[in-house]
Amino acid sequence: MTSVNSEKLSSARFAQATDAFVEVFTASVDFDQRMAPQDIQGSIAHATMLCACGILTEAERDAIINGLTQIGAEIADGTFVWSIKQEDVHMNIEARLTDMIGVAGKKLHTGRSRNDQVATDIRLYLRSEIVQITAQLTRLQTAILDLAEQHAGTIMPGFTHLQVAQPITFGHHLMAWFEMLRRDRERLDDCVKRINIMPLGAAALAGTSYPIDRFMTAELLGFSRPSANSLDSVSDRDFAIEFAAVASLIMMHLSRFSEELILWSSAFVDFIDMPDAFCTGSSIMPQKKNPDVPELVRGKSGRVTGHLVALLMLMKSQPLAYNKDNQEDKEPLFDTADTLVNCLRAYADMVPHITAKKANMYNAAKRGFATATDLADYLVRKGMAFRDAHEVVGLAVRLGLESQRDLSELTLAELQGFSALVSEDVFAYLTLEGSVAARQHIGGTAPETVKAAIQAARQLLDNLGMGME
Ligand code: ARG
């Protein structure tokens, strides 16, 4: 063919060279080169299978594997030359392989297409990212458990509507965060089941006429099985959307976590001290210590959810099978994984250094009539209907507000003025300690219950860790 289009993919069909801007516009190599290790891993497995099925000779297979291994080293040490002309990571590697080993390199693409190749690469990439993410998630969960253990008996106000509601323990509050992350971990594990299915062999869309062994390639690559429909395999990115959804949920949880840390470290709440190493000062206000890490994480949660929506919209209405639209899946996906692993890492590093200001937490619980429900429950136990008890306690709270005293600071005579059912034993229920200690059913805030929950959680992490080995 003419020299003008000699470098173009599938060049024989084209009479014109690609427009210079279109070449740049359609190329993905700038970002998909990141999947080079997975691309090489997939190609080595593919060549191994082709040889086992008699489609490549052993000499060709060995030349391909050696060449790809060397290319992997060139990419790792930065000497590999990436070219926009070769459009994407797949063509760049294949072209270099052919440069290195000659005609055997041109045989690597037998029985496959970039369509099943790229779908395989993304799945391998996500699988390895999820290993990193899970490791950071586990570090964070462990840090939360350690902090919760220190504070199983530390009393603080629990809130509804951000108003003081009932006393709880800080350990119990921390364990709520643990539970959110526990479900996130389950979701990650579950989405791996659908990621870990192998598209290779679907070829462009219809499969291949070569006598390939897809089970062998799947096994070589650690996939649970080959995909069941070639059209579906090369087109759908639902597994990526699912991952982005799980990532969005984790980031949503971290944003809630962040919001509370930011609030609690502000001077007017002052429940915790954030470690200096995770905060910055202000360029103008010398007194400032800003909780940058939680603020950034809170901000980044929006960007990850944005990627989820981008991926959903990318897939929406796409006809079967592969469309070039799908090249747009990579940047949001890469950024989702990077953002998630970085946010989890920052949190796992930071949480062990958070210090609780116990006296401030305690006083805040006291100031907020947090044991009002306990007084109502006390009256109910003595025979009053709950609605009536609610009314009586409302009056007691009003007296407390007017005289600036907590319920436990009212006198017995004053309390008896509201109801004759009150006797001396009431004070055991009106203290913050009595209130939390009484909630000892499973899921409750009593220090002993929190300790048991921490114990069970440690066991869970140990079991999950053993499952990963
Ligand atoms: N760079 C492409 C992508 O990311 C690879 C698959 C290209 N296939 C094709 N038929 N143009 O999706």
Distances, alpha carbon 30 to alpha carbons 36, 124, 306, in Å: 12, 19, 22
- Ligand 1 atom having least distance to the Cα of 87: 1
Average pLDDT over every residue of 23-32: 98
Q: How many CA atoms lie within 13 A of 441 on its CB side?
A: 0
Two tokens, residue 279: 């905060």
Q: Using 50, 70 and 90 to split pLDDT, how confident is the model at 5?
A: very low
**Pocket probe mutation, ligand 1, options 29, 43, 90, 115, max atoms within 8 Å of Cβ:** 115
Q: Is 282 designated active site? A: yes
Q: Using 50, 70 and 90 to split pLDDT, how confident is the model at 262?
A: very high
Catalytic entry in 6, 10, 161, 283: 161
Tell whether the model's pLDDT for residue 6 goes beyond 60.
no
117 lines ligand 1 (CB under 6 A): no
What is residue 2's predicted lDDT score, i.e. its pLDDT? Answer: 33
Model pLDDT for residues 325-381, shown as the tens digit of each residue: 999 999 999 999 999 999 999 999 999 999 999 999 999 998 889 999 999 999 999
Backbone angles phi, psi at 46, to 5 degrees: -60, -45
- Ligand 1 atom having least distance to the Cα of 326: 12
141 lines ligand 1 (CB under 6 A): no
| Residues 40, 333: Cα–Cα separation, whole Å | 20
Q: Name the 3-class secondary structure at 325.
A: helix
Owner of token pair 């079991």: 463
Q: Is 161 designated active site? A: yes
Model pLDDT for residues 29-66, shown as the tens digit of each residue: 999 999 999 999 999 999 999 999 999 999 999 999 99
Average pLDDT over every residue of 155-179: 97
Measured in angstroms, how far is the CA atom of residue 232 from the centroid of ligand 1?
Answer: 15
Nearest CA to 88 out of 21, 32, 37 is that of 32
Tell whether the model's pLDDT for residue 468 goes beyond 80.
no
Mean model confidence pLDDT for the chain: 95
Q: Integer distance in angstroms from the first to the last C-alpha of the chain?
A: 54
Q: Which domains does the chain have, with CATH numbers?
A: 20-110 (1.10.275.10), 115-207+224-362 (1.20.200.10), 365-452 (1.10.40.30)
Average pLDDT over every residue of 302-313: 98
Tell whether the model's pLDDT for residue 160 goes beyond 60.
yes
To the nearest 5 percent, what fractions of the chain are helix, strand and coil? 70, 5, 25
Q: Using 50, 70 and 90 to split pLDDT, how confident is the model at 122?
A: very high
Average pLDDT over every residue of 204-212: 98
Measured in angstroms, how far is the CA atom of residue 182 from the centroid of ligand 1?
Answer: 36
- Using DSSP, how many helices (H) and how many strands (E) does the chain show? 20, 6
What pTM, to 2 d.p., does this model score?
Answer: 0.94
- Ligand 1 atom having least distance to the Cα of 330: 4
Model pLDDT for residues 131-146, shown as the tens digit of each residue: 999 999 999 999 999 9
Tell whether the model's pLDDT for residue 7 goes beyond 80.
no
What is residue 469's predicted lDDT score, i.e. its pLDDT? Answer: 56
- DSSP letters of 32-51? HGGGHHHHHHHHHHHHHHHH
Q: Using 50, 70 and 90 to split pLDDT, how confident is the model at 286?
A: confident
| Residues 453, 459: Cα–Cα separation, whole Å | 10
Residue with CA closest to ligand 1 atom 12: 327
Question: Bridge-partner residues for 158, per DSSP?
Answer: 166
Percent of the chain with pLDDT over 90: 92
